[in-house]
Amino acid sequence: MNENDKKAALLMIPYGLYVVGVTDGTSVSAFTANWLSQCSFTPPLIMMGVKKDSRAHALLDKGRVFSVNMLGGEHKNVAAFFFRGPEAEESRFGNYAFEQGEGGVPLLTDAPASVECRVTGFYPHGDHSVVVGEVIGATLRREAKPLTMESTGWKYGG
């Protein structure tokens, strides 16, 4: 296989950017995710790729709940901040406030929308795990055009 062709082809898959919140019941963290998609209507399911060697992966594996906070087109700085996978301090991640949803997952108060999920499948493959979650709650704060990888100029994948 031509590695350059493979990478270029895979980078043509369009992705949004999201802040995924996780908790194990004790620690609360969040990270920027882009390998995420809805994969079922009934029940409503979301699937995502989570890097195996991340702290968030361990919290998610133990806690089995997560939130997906949709980012608007103006939230490039938010996505950049959460690449570091910060741990929560009270009800904040740095300058970003959150409320706790079902099971203690963080819902960013500035995100246009958030969904809360319960893990229904956890599949370790390669350097990421594929995590499937059933949507058990949703909050719409406002309509917004979503932040995408393409709009940031960043690349992750291939």
Q: Which domain holds residue 131?
A: 19-152
Number of domains within the chain: 1
CATH label of the domain that carries residue 125:
2.30.110.10
pTM of the model: 0.94
- Quote the radius of gyration of the chain (alpha carbons, Å): 15
* Beta-ladder partners of 112: none
Q: What is the pLDDT of residue 45?
A: 98
Q: What is the pLDDT of residue 157?
A: 73
- In a domain, residue 1? The reply is no
Tokens of 22: 């996780």
Going residue by residue through the chain (158 aa), what tens digit of pLDDT does each one get?
A: 999 999 989 888 999 999 999 999 999 999 999 999 999 999 999 999 999 999 999 999 999 999 999 999 999 999 999 998 888 888 999 999 999 998 899 999 999 999 999 999 999 999 999 999 999 999 999 999 999 999 998 887 76
- In a domain, residue 98? The reply is yes
Task: Determine whether 125 is exposed, middle or buried from the number of CB atoms within 10 Å of its CB (0-12, 13-18, 19+).
Answer: exposed
